[in-house]
């Protein structure tokens, strides 16, 4: 999991050159400005191929799909569906807590092999797709091999970077031909399963998904995430001439909390679709989202509680549509370019919306509030702040505190000489007789900016302090069970398993 300690330098809202330009632009010059804007935005949008590739040391024990026994080709022509699915299914836990660990029975001192919370065997791994184009013909899904009804959890599917690693659906693939019956290219979790809201710790990172041509029912990613997990640095595109495809990113079920960051979607009926079964709510945060060329809506929120920070939409349809009365959307820092008519935000029925720093151009209406709404439609193309519902702390005369929003931190380093392996400093994998804390501490104090844990179990019997020049710790899903270091002091995780 990417725990990082450094914030990426990204222009703040106040310094965004696009917003300033737009406010001053004449009608005739806006098209040109948007062309320039698109180039500018690409500079701090999802990672591009010019950036160094995401790589892992050989001894990190990451599952590389191009190596035995999986042998995915990544050559753009071989069908890699089976190879990638085999890698995912061999390394999917299906439950959350499940890294195998050892617990000492407090009465007998006996060591007990402890698996997941449900006692099922399983592991959680990082599955890595090196640079290449992986042609697929069916859904990539880490189905739990032990229980097909179980949601799959704790899979980190990571590529070498946007534009470097491409998962491409073959043209006119059977099963992807009907927009009314969406079918996923990448899926975490069960679309309509009984185990909704249990996609713990799922990650899709640093890759492009192309749904190809002639697949109007395709969904780039159906993401089930719960409590922790993210999509980040991902581009989802339809290379169909008509940009056919049902949704770039879809949440069908109750899911959250989760983070979607640095996502770019081109084409599809919906760039991002958030739907629910019978239950809404759940919290998804979006940050730095670029949507273009959608056919129905850039983002359609139908029943979730979402926060969208830094949305850039270039569309001939509404950038945002909402439906269902319990839908809640917070939209902060949005630049929405339209075709010259229609509504930038269309509420199909009254729901909750709070907007801060929005610039809409090329639409008749900025916000269409819908029949029965508490407030009339909005035509002002620039909004500093606007909301549908007055809260007790917020009246028409008072706005929010307008606190600045920092981007979530990020740090990448492709120079493997700058990575410190904790086992090179004394920690031992899958041996709980020792205390791995001194080795881990030595790695942190080594001066290397990245510290990593080859996949396995480590035992902590004394304190570890993150300090000095370390910028990122890539845990790669280890088990880190803390032992009792002095009477009455257990880590929270172990306490939750075995209170005494």
Give the binding site for Ca ion (CB under 5 A): 428, 431, 434, 436, 459
Minimum Å gap between C-beta 109 and Ca ion is 18
Minimum Å gap between C-beta 104 and Ca ion is 14
Q: Tokens 């606190």 belong to which residue? A: 403
Minimum Å gap between C-beta 429 and Ca ion is 6
User: What whole-number distance in Å separates Cα of residue 178 and Cα of residue 171?
Assistant: 14
Of 428 and 462, which has the nearer Cβ to Ca ion? 428
Minimum Å gap between C-beta 444 and Ca ion is 16
Q: Which of 469, 458, 460, 457 is nearest to 420 (CA)?
A: 469
Of 287 and 436, which has the nearer Cβ to Ca ion? 436
Minimum Å gap between C-beta 464 and Ca ion is 13
Of 315 and 459, which has the nearer Cβ to Ca ion? 459
Q: Which of 124, 142, 228 is nearest to 184 (CA)?
A: 142
Of 123 and 410, which has the nearer Cβ to Ca ion? 123
Minimum Å gap between C-beta 440 and Ca ion is 10
71 is written with which tokens?
Answer: 């042998």
Minimum Å gap between C-beta 348 and Ca ion is 56
Minimum Å gap between C-beta 454 and Ca ion is 11
Of 262 and 459, which has the nearer Cβ to Ca ion? 459
Q: Who's near 167: CB < 8 A, 6+ residues apart?
A: 129, 134, 136, 140, 159, 185, 186, 207, 208, 209, 210
Asked whether the beta carbons of 407 and 287 are under 8 A apart, the reply is yes
Asked whether the beta carbons of 116 and 63 are under 8 A apart, the reply is no
User: What whole-number distance in Å separates Cα of residue 479 and Cα of residue 403?
Assistant: 38
- Closest CB to Ca ion belongs to which residue? 428
223 is written with which tokens?
Answer: 């993401």
Of 380 and 431, which has the nearer Cβ to Ca ion? 431
Of 8 and 462, which has the nearer Cβ to Ca ion? 462
Minimum Å gap between C-beta 434 and Ca ion is 5
Of 66 and 459, which has the nearer Cβ to Ca ion? 459
Mapped onto helix, strand or coil, the DSSP state of residue 258 is strand
User: What whole-number distance in Å separates Cα of residue 302 and Cα of residue 496?
Assistant: 36
User: What whole-number distance in Å separates Cα of residue 310 and Cα of residue 411?
Assistant: 20
Of 434 and 484, which has the nearer Cβ to Ca ion? 434
Minimum Å gap between C-beta 422 and Ca ion is 10
Mapped onto helix, strand or coil, the DSSP state of residue 32 is helix
For 301-315, give one letter per residue: b (16+ CB within 10 A) or e: bbbbbbbbbbbbbbb
User: What whole-number distance in Å separates Cα of residue 215 and Cα of residue 384?
Assistant: 40
226 is written with which tokens?
Answer: 């719960």
Minimum Å gap between C-beta 288 and Ca ion is 39
User: What whole-number distance in Å separates Cα of residue 6 and Cα of residue 23?
Assistant: 33
442 is written with which tokens?
Answer: 């030595």
Using a 10 angstrom Cβ sphere, with 0-12 exposed, 13-18 middle and 19 or more buried, the burial of residue 392 is: exposed
383 is written with which tokens?
Answer: 């909004």
Q: Dihedrals φ, ψ of 372, to 5°?
A: 80, 10
Of 333 and 436, which has the nearer Cβ to Ca ion? 436
Of 163 and 454, which has the nearer Cβ to Ca ion? 454
């Amino acid at each position: 999991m990417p725990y990082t300690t450094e914030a990426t330098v990204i222009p703040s809202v106040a310094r965004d050159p696009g917003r300033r330009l737009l406010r001053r632009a004449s009608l005739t010059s806006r098209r040109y400005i948007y062309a320039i804007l698109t180039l500018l935005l690409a500079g701090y949008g999802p990672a591009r191929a010019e950036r160094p590739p995401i790589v892992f040391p050989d001894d990190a024990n990451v599952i590389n799909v191009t190596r035995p026994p999986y042998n995915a080709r990544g050559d753009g022509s071989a069908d890699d569906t089976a190879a990638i699915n085999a890698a995912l299914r061999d390394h999917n836990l299906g439950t959350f807590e499940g890294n195998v660990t050892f617990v000492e029975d407090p009465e007998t001192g006996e060591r007990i092999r402890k698996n997941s919370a449900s006692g099922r065997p399983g592991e959680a791994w990082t599955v890595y797709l090196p640079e290449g184009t992986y042609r697929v013909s069916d859904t990539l899904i880490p189905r739990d091999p032990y229980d097909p009804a179980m949601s799959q959890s704790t899979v980190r599917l990571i590529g070498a970077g946007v534009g470097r690693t491409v998962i491409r659906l073959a043209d006119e693939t059977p099963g992807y031909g009907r927009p009314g019956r969406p079918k996923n290219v990448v899926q975490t979790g069960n679309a309509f399963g009984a185990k909704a809201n249990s996609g713990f710790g799922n990650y899709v990172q640093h890759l492009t998904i192309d749904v190809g041509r002639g697949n109007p029912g395709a969904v780039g990613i159906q993401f089930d995430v719960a409590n922790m997990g993210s999509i980040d640095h991902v581009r989802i595109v339809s290379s169909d001439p008509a940009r056919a495809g049902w949704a770039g990113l879809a949440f069908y079920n109750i899911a959250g909390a989760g983070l979607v960051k640095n996502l770019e979607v081109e084409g599809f009926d919906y760039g991002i679709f958030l739907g629910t079964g019978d239950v809404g709510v759940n919290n998804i945060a979006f940050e730095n989202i670029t949507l273009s060329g959608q056919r129905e809506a850039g983002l359609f929120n139908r029943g979730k509680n979402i926060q969208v920070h830094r949305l850039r939409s270039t569309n001939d349809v509404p950038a945002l549509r909402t439906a269902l009365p319990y839908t809640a959307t917070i939209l902060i820092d949005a630049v929405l370019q339209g075709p010259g008519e229609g509504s930038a935000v269309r509420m199909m029925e009254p729901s909750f919306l709070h907007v801060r720093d929005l610039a809409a151009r090329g639409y008749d209406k900025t916000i269409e509030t819908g029949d029965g709404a508490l407030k009339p439609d909005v035509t002002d193309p620039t909004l500093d702040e606007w909301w549908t519902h007055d809260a007790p702390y917020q009246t028409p005369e008072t706005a929010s505190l307008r606190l600045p929003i920092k981007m979530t931190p990020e740090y990448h380093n492709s120079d493997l000489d700058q990575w410190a392996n904790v086992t090179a400093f004394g920690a031992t994998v899958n041996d709980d007789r020792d205390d791995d804390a001194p080795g881990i501490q030595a790695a942190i104090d080594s001066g290397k900016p990245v510290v990593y844990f080859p996949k396995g179990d480590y035992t902590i019997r004394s304190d570890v302090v993150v300090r000095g020049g370390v910028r990122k710790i890539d845990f790669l899903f280890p088990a880190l069970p803390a032992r009792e270091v002095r009477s009455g002091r257990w880590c929270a995780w172990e306490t939750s398993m075995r209170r005494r």
